[in-house]
Amino acid sequence: MSRFDFSHPPFTHLSNAEQQTLENAADIVFFDDEELILAPGQPVDALYVVIKGVVREMADDEVIAVYKQRDSFDARSMVSGQSATRFVVHEEALVFALPRATILALTESNPAFGAYFFASISQKFGAMARESGNRELQTLLTATVRDACSRLPVFADGNDSILDAARLMKQRKSKSILVRHGEQLGMFTTTDFRDIILSDTPSSTALHRVCHFNLITVDIDDFLFNALLTMTQRNIRRLVVMDHGEPVGILAQVDILSYFSNHSHLIAQRLDRAETLDELAQIAEQITRLVSILSSHGVKAPQLGRLVQALNARLFERAWQLIAPPELVANSCLLVMGSEGRGEQILKTDQDNALLIRDGFEHPDIATACSRFSDTLARFGYPPCPGGIMLSSPQWCRHEQAMRDQLYHWVITPDGDTLMNLAIFVDAEAVAGDPALLLQCRQYLASLLSDDESFYARFARAIEQFDTPLGFFAQLLTREKDGAATLDIKKGGIFPIVHGIRALALRHGVSACNTFDRLQQLADRGVLERELANDVGEALSFLLGLRLSHGLAELADGRAASNLLYPERLSTLERDLLKDALALVKRFKAYLRHHFRLGAMA
């Protein structure tokens, strides 16, 4: 049995022979409390991997990183040949010392392994993504019937006729109904219709004479695999789902197969069939569970963002259709903005939405419908926006001309608040109603901007709002919260990339809203060098992924998802990649300062 754990990156990329080579060369070294392992300027002749204990990386008297079991250090110093910081034992440590010569030889012979030490930033992030995607998929055998049950029961009385049942099933678009007859509960399906037609049974026959009362049921909290097994064993296609003795749904075989093969498709079907806000509230919860499942399967944050955007768009559209009068839906355009509009909001955060109303259209229930919509989204788990950027706010529920007037005001008086409102609107996407209303406002905004370079500079300057939390010697700059060192990944990393790309897109007439699409189009037009665009895209993908994984962990602990990271909880690889990503943010901000001549602004 191997004494070295090869189950974590980058050692997962080594072949059996390479693993044996590394293990043969490895030494085990013990360090006592407060013992110095590496000092600044000291030659580095090994890569260290912690077996047990705690090692601190210090810059002067400040702790900049903590290394625990399976963490490795210091790859950067090993490559350069000497240490830039000090590594001191905090709790007596047992470590593997992997000779520098052996590690460098493996990086030359194994490009995937070497990518973690020598590759460009985009290659490093790409290797990390492949590592995530190649993880063994977590089993779906722990899924429950509650996760997949999408068919609410349709009930009929046992004394209703077969013809009544046909009308009901057509009306409710259902292939089966439950029949109540006294204390009995039965089921009637489209297969029963086939048998009835072949037997010439009159359509006036009462349902209780032809339906099946020997129902097979499953509890809503039972494992989904058990339900599939029951169907297979009994050669049936449907089960009645029970919750505390009451029928609450029908689970069809196609629902189970759909769940195992395509969870998002199942949710989309439920959205299309939903007839009440209560049903939509249940589906909104299922979207978060879907994110957790797909994230555990290695699906990257950008792809998850697109998927959630598509599902949320259908969720919001259906909610608006259930709340607003049909004539209001037809004469307005419901918008989502900010990260939701860009397709980069994965977990539920503050609402950012608005309503454009066709000029000349009036309705007495506009304000009521808008207020109810905002309250409904809050019920679905999307908190009200602290800044009031919701269609329940008069500023964000406007007729076309009033919105054009607002855009004009934002452009000619570009202060902090107006520029942020404009930035949010620039990311708007239509999810319900007439999208032409949004298109007309976009065209008007483009006509206002033209070649006003000073405006674009003021718009881009928001990238300076937050400092990048990376200091000398690649030191992560943290702030203490509740006794722990934290880092705001949105302010320090995600926002400057997103807003910088947004400013470039606005300046160069790029119509896409998604940041990754904007990056691609800016590179295609030669505004950004292809290598820089790739690096920025990979860094943003990594940062979004970190925020997602930490947000899911917070939700699992019963806390609201936040933008705070705890660097001490990151693996060595994650910390190194975070430092690379923040270094890239600094480089990109320098490019933006030059591009928009921010240094010349007063």
pLDDT digits (tens, 9 = 90+) for 309-322: 888 999 999 999 99
Which of 128-142, 223-237, 500-514 is most confident?
500-514
Residue with tokens 């009308």: 167
Of 107-111, 118-122, 348-352, the one with minimum mean pLDDT is 118-122
Q: What's the pLDDT at 601?
A: 64
Decide if pLDDT at 130 tops 60. Answer: no
Q: What is the CA radius of gyration of the chain?
A: 29
pLDDT at residue 140, rounded to an integer: 47
Instruction: Give the CA count within 13 Å in the CB-facing half-sphere of 52.
Output: 1
Mean pLDDT for the chain overall: 87
pLDDT of res. 534 = 92
What's the pLDDT at 242?
92
Closest to 370 measured CA to CA, from 350, 346, 396 = 396
Beginning with the edge strand found earlier in the chain, give each strand of the sheet holding 176-181 in spatial order.
Answer: 155-157, 176-181, 184-189
How many other C-beta atoms can be found within 10 angstroms of the C-beta atom of residue 248? 15
Q: Region 591-598: what's the mean pLDDT?
A: 93
Region 537-545: mean pLDDT is 94
Q: Which of 255-259, 288-292, 410-414, 444-448 has the lowest mean pLDDT?
A: 255-259
Residue 27: the pLDDT is 92
pLDDT exceeds 70 at position 266: no
Higher pLDDT, 230 or 141: 230
SS3 41: coil
Q: What is the pLDDT of residue 122?
A: 57
Question: Contact at 8 Å (CB) between 403 and 415?
Answer: no
Does residue 104 surpass a pLDDT of 50? yes
CA distances from 116 to 72, 80, 133, 293 (A): 12, 14, 16, 27
Which of 206-210, 349-353, 456-460, 474-478 shows the lowest mean pLDDT across its residues?
Answer: 474-478
Give the torsion sign (CA, 320, 321, 324, 330): positive
Token pair in block for residue 206 = 């009462």
So what's the pLDDT on residue 192? Answer: 86
Determine the angle formed by the axes of helices 453-460 and 572-596, rounding to 10 degrees.
160
Per-residue confidence at 557, pLDDT binned at 50, 70, 90?
confident
Q: What is the pLDDT of residue 258?
A: 62
Whole-number pLDDT of residue 453 = 86
Confidence label for 259 from pLDDT (cuts 50, 70 and 90): low
Rounded to whole angstroms, the Cα distance separating 310 from 494 reads: 22
**What CA–CA distance (Å, rounded) separates 585 from 300?**
20
**pLDDT score recorded for residue 430:** 96
Give the range with max mean pLDDT: 12-16, 103-107, 325-329.
325-329
The residue-averaged pLDDT of 472-494 equals 85
pLDDT (tens digit, 9 = 90+) per residue, 131-157? 544 433 334 456 788 877 767 889 999
Q: Which pLDDT value is given to residue 133?
A: 42
Q: Is residue 129 scored above 70 in pLDDT? A: no
Q: CA angle, 400 as apex, 394 and 403 as ends, to 5°?
A: 50
* 155-195 confidence digits (pLDDT tens): 999 999 999 999 999 898 888 899 999 989 999 988 888 88
Return the DSSP state at 86: E
Q: What is the pLDDT of residues 31-56, one digit of tens each?
A: 999 999 999 889 999 999 999 999 98
Per-residue pLDDT band for 497 (boundaries 50, 70, 90) equals: very high
Average pLDDT estimate for 280-297: 83
All residues at 6 or more sequence positions from 391 whose CB lies less than 8 Å from its CB, including other chains = 334, 353, 354, 355, 370, 373, 374, 397
Residues 6+ apart with CB under 8 A from 259: 140, 143, 147, 148, 224, 266
Give the pLDDT score at 49: 92
| Structure confidence at residue 257 as a pLDDT band (50, 70, 90) | low
Categorize the per-residue pLDDT at 121 as very low, low, confident or very high, splitting at 50, 70 and 90.
low
The per-residue pLDDT for 193 is: 84
Confidence of residue 602 (pLDDT cuts 50, 70, 90): low
pLDDT at 238: 86
pLDDT tens digits, one per residue of 342-380? 999 999 888 999 999 999 999 999 999 999 999 999 999
* pTM score above 0.95: no
To the nearest 10 degrees (0 to 180), the angle between helices 572-596 and 495-507 is: 30
- Mean pLDDT confidence for 561-590: 88
Whether 428 has a pLDDT exceeding 50, the answer reads yes
